[in-house]
Amino acid sequence: MSSTVEARTRTTATRPGVALPPRPSRRGQTAATAVVGVVLLVATATLDVEWADLRDLPAAVRDYGTLMFADPDWSRLPRALFEMWRSISMAWLGAMLCVVVSIPLGMLAAHGVGPAWLRLALRGLFAVIRAVPEVIIALVLLTVTGLTPFTGALALGIAGIGTQGKWTYETIETLRDGAADAVRAAGGGRTAVIRWALWPAALPTLLSFALYRFEINIRMSAVLGLVGAGGIGSMLANYTNYRAWDTVGMLLIVVVATTMAVDAVSGALRRRIMEGT
């Protein structure tokens, strides 16, 4: 102990001229920051926004806030709850459809499960679906199934496949190889590996992601309602168009309360699933 201290003092004492290493160059970082800053300034300056309108915003928020929340119109609450359940149904069925389709596809897209060509094709498909906004999928679908909640559920189901499939193969790929190797060593084929090694290990995570998809869909179903798929979103869009602010306020309260309640329940379930109780 003391000898190391001595050695250390000796080296500093005998070599007083040891220079500090040069500071790492931050030129690249500075340049990147500058580029981002310039692009931001140009984008802000050329954006077609009347920034002066922002001055009226606080007053507008106060006025509309009073209109919406000072005396919300609770007489339409039953109707709102009916529509909210429709949105929840859309979200739930969409999540089920999405999970049922994306788990097998996502498994096949994982390394070491499906062949390489299939893996690449599926990953490409997931990337493309991820890039298309849900609303656009709904707009295409409604030419087949019309302006119905069913369209909304289908759109949510299809739109979610991109992300859900990605999560599935990422989950499978982060599993440890031990169980899969053991099944293979015992003579199991691809199906046996999936059934006895990958499936049981990945199930809690996949279930948790399924519930998370439901949470996301709750928000998205309100958005799809805005383009006419029915549910609370359609009701909200209608009453916003009528400028019936007291009803809009009530609807917003219903949306926020339901979303937070679903998040809380689903979050608690997810935690229990992941802790394995």
Stretch that binds other proteins, among 7-15, 41-49, 109-117, 169-177 (CB under 8 A): 41-49
The DSSP output letter for 17 is T
Return the number of other C-beta atoms located less than 10 Å from residue 177's C-beta: 10
Dist. CA 143–CA 138, nearest whole Å: 9
Q: Residue 224 phi/psi, 5° resolution? A: -65, -30
CA–CA–CA angle 251, 256, 260 (5° rounding): 150
Q: Which of 140, 182, 203, 274 binds other proteins (CB under 8 A)?
A: 140
What is the Cα gyration radius of the chain?
28
Q: Which of 105, 141, 194, 250 binds other proteins (CB under 8 A)?
A: 141
List Cα–Cα distances, 187 to 172, 178, 184, in angstroms.
Answer: 21, 14, 5
Stretch that binds other proteins, among 7-15, 178-186, 193-201, 217-225 (CB under 8 A): 217-225
Alpha carbon 92 to chain centroid, angstroms: 16
Does residue number 131 form part of the binding site for other proteins (CB under 8 A)?
Answer: yes
CA–CA–CA angle 87, 93, 94 (5° rounding): 85
Contacts with 57 (C-beta within 8 Å, 6 or more apart), sequence order: none
Does residue number 153 form part of the binding site for other proteins (CB under 8 A)?
Answer: yes
Does residue number 34 form part of the binding site for other proteins (CB under 8 A)?
Answer: no
Find the shortest distance in angstroms from Cβ 17 to other proteins.
Answer: 32
Residues from 46 through 105 that contact other proteins (CB under 8 A): 46-50, 53-54, 56-57, 60-61, 64, 81-86, 88-90, 92-93, 96
Stretch that binds other proteins, among 14-22, 106-114, 133-141, 177-185 (CB under 8 A): 133-141
Q: Which of 101, 125, 139, 147 binds other proteins (CB under 8 A)?
A: 139
- 87 and 220 in contact (C-beta within 8 Å)? no
Contacts with 149 (C-beta within 8 Å, 6 or more apart), sequence order: 86, 89, 90, 229, 230, 231
Dist. CA 106–CA 247, nearest whole Å: 43
Dist. CA 277–CA 74, nearest whole Å: 41
Alpha carbon 46 to chain centroid, angstroms: 31
The DSSP output letter for 53 is G
Find the shortest distance in angstroms from Cβ 141 to other proteins.
Answer: 7
Find the shortest distance in angstroms from Cβ 199 to other proteins.
Answer: 16
Closest among 212, 244, 237 to 222, alpha carbons compared: 237
Find the shortest distance in angstroms from Cβ 202 to other proteins.
Answer: 18
Residues from 220 through 259 that contact other proteins (CB under 8 A): 220, 222-223, 226-227, 233, 236-237, 240, 243, 248, 252, 255-256, 259
Stretch that binds other proteins, among 135-143, 164-172, 180-188, 193-201 (CB under 8 A): 135-143
Find the shortest distance in angstroms from Cβ 266 to other proteins.
Answer: 12
Binding site for other proteins (CB under 8 A): 39-40, 43-44, 46-50, 53-54, 56-57, 60-61, 64, 81-86, 88-90, 92-93, 96, 127-128, 130-133, 135-136, 139-141, 143-146, 148-150, 152-153, 219-220, 222-223, 226-227, 233, 236-237, 240, 243, 248, 252, 255-256, 259-260, 263
